[in-house]
Amino acid sequence: MRIAICPGSFDPVTKGHLDIVTRAAALFDQVIVLVVHNPAKQPSFTVDERINMIRKVTGSLQNIEVDTYGGLLADYAKLKGACAIVKGLRAVSDFEYEFQMALANKKFYPEAETVFVPTSLENMYLSSSIVKQVAMFGGDISGFVPSVLLQEIEQRLSPRTY
């Protein structure tokens, strides 16, 4: 079985995340969407909330598992016997950082290849940070996040009261 890990903070889940996960699911037998702990970030949603959001938007995909891990990604990939780590790329600026991480992961777990998936054209500008900023100023984020998550994300991030 060809297992891939699709790691990220997913804070919150965007249409861009869903696009990459869906495309990875078409390429591999199993995809583990991994909510990683990034000590450099202050999340808006708890790990459990992010896991539940991912499960809501990937429920129709039979080969998706959602998990969380607090250690090195390479260690998790080895633990799961993954053959690939899938990373979405929006722009050239993403590549430099992701390439460095890919080399580090390869050093620690040579059995896994990093697969870079370019984002779809409509999601090139999209990030969780953009979603947070637009929502914080009361802007419309309906084009940025899956509709099933819109109300939940707006309630947390938008200054409007519901």
Tell me, yes or no, whether 114 lies in a domain. Answer: yes
65 is in an annotated binding site: no
Tell me, yes or no, whether 129 lies in a domain. Answer: no
Residue 45 is classified by DSSP as S
Query: Where in the sequence numbering do the catalytic residues fall?
Result: 17, 41, 90, 128
28 is in an annotated binding site: no
Q: Residue 124's pLDDT is what?
A: 87
- Count the neighbouring beta carbons within 10 Å of the beta carbon of residue 101: 16
142 is in an annotated binding site: no
- CATH number where 27 lies: 3.40.50.620
The structural domain count of the chain equals 1
Cis peptide before 7 (omega within 30 of 0): no
Q: Are 73 and 100 in contact (CB under 8 A)?
A: no
* Cα 145 to Cα 80: distance, rounded to the nearest angstrom: 29
Q: Residue 160's pLDDT is what?
A: 64
* Cα 3 to Cα 109: distance, rounded to the nearest angstrom: 14
Q: What is the domain extent for residue 32?
A: 3-124
Tell me, yes or no, whether 150 lies in a domain. Answer: no
Tell me, yes or no, whether 147 lies in a domain. Answer: no
The whole-model pTM stands at 0.93
Tell me, yes or no, whether 89 lies in a domain. Answer: yes
The whole-number average pLDDT for the span 130-134 is 94
Tell me, yes or no, whether 49 lies in a domain. Answer: yes
Tell me, yes or no, whether 158 lies in a domain. Answer: no
87 is in an annotated binding site: yes
Q: Residue 67's pLDDT is what?
A: 98
